Amino acid sequence: MNFESRVLPELRPVLAQFPGFQLEGKLEWSRSLLSSSPIEKSEHVRSTSRMIPGAAGEILVKIYEPAVRTIAKLPAMLWIHGGGYVMGHPDMDDALCERFVQAANCVVVSVDYRLAPEHPYPAAIDDCYSGLTWMADEADSLGIDLNRIAIAGASGGGGLTAALAIMARDKGGPALIFQMPLYPMLDNRNISASSHEITADNATWNRTNNLTAWKMYLGEYLDDSELSSHAVPSRVENLAGLPPTYTCIGQLDVFRDETIEYVTRLAQAGVDVEFHLYPGCFHSFEMIVPQAEVSQRASQSYVDAIARALNP
C-alpha cells in the first residue's frame, strides 16, 4: 500500500492539496506555507509581546494569560513552535496557546527562537533555555507559581522541548513538573524504519526534508560523533530525572520510531509517560486538518494532559 492509501479518509482531501515543503532551494517559500492568518482572539485571554534577553541579543516572546486575574499565582508553560528548526513563528500557534490558557488556567510564554540555517545549533536551544530561565526569573512579575512550570512544543519544537528538559536537568535550571514533546524531531541519524518509510513528496514531512533540516540545524556539527543530547535528544545516555511526559504521533509520521524508542527509554528510566499512536495519521495532522474527528480527539487529549499536569 502506498502512503496516501494508508491515510485516514477524513484527512486525505487536505493532504491532496498540500504542496509539500522544499527546504533545499525553496526555503523562503516553504517558510511562507507556515505563515498564519490573524485569529479571532478570545475575550478571555490577554496576549502581549515582549523582547527579553536571549543568548545573543534580544528575542521576542509572546505571553498569554487569563484576561481577568486575581492575586493568585498561576502555573506556567513555555511553548516552543514547530518548523523543523528552520521554519515557524510564535504567531502560528496563537489559537492553541489561547486554548492552553483557558483549559489549564495558566500563563503561556511562546518563544521566538532563532532559526537555522542562518542561526545553526546551538542558537535555538540556547534561546529556548533563555526563555525558560527568564520566565522563572520573572515569576513574580508574571504571577507564576515556580512549583508548576512545564514545557511543550510540536515537531521541531517537540525536539527542542526534549532537549530543553535534558538541558534544564543537566544545568540544574528551572525545575519542571511536566514536558510535552509532541511528535518530536529527536534523531539526526535517520536510520529507523519509519525514516525510510515516509518518502512521499506530499507527506507533510518526509525523509528528504528531515535530512535537509538536520543538515541546516547542525551545520558544522553534522558529522560530530560526540554531539550533545542538547543538540540531538536521542543521544542522551541517561533519561532518569526528567519530568513526567506526554507525547503522541501519527503512525504515518517519519518520527514514529524515534518517538517510540524515546517513550520506551523514558519508561525504563522510571519516568512516568503517556503515549498515543494514531493510525492513518501523518505528521502534524491535527494542526493541518483541525476539523477532522481524529484531530479534535488528539488535540483535546494533549490539552487535557497539560491541564491535569499543571493543576495536580
- Structure-block grid coordinates of residue 95: 489559537
Q: Is 196 a catalytic residue?
A: no
Q: Show the 3-state SS of 147-178.
A: EEEEEEEECHHHHHHHHHHHHHHHHCCCCCCE
- State the catalytic residue, choosing from 253, 257, 284, 299: 253
Q: Is 37 a catalytic residue?
A: no
- State the catalytic residue, choosing from 47, 155, 229, 295: 155
Q: Is 253 a catalytic residue?
A: yes
> Which helix H or strand E contains 254, and what residues bound it?
none
Residue 25, C-beta contacts closer than 8 angstroms, at least 6 positions apart: none
Residue 13, C-beta contacts closer than 8 angstroms, at least 6 positions apart: none
Considering only CA atoms, which of 171, 167, 164 is closest in space to residue 150? 164
CA distance to 117, 199, 254, 266, per residue, from 244 (Å):
32, 32, 24, 9
Q: Which residue has the cell 532518569?
A: 240
- State the catalytic residue, choosing from 81, 119, 230, 283: 283
CA gap 262, 250 in Å, rounded: 15
CA gap 310, 177 in Å, rounded: 8
Considering only CA atoms, which of 263, 246, 264, 251 is closest in space to residue 304? 246
Provide the annotated active-site residues.
Answer: 155, 253, 283
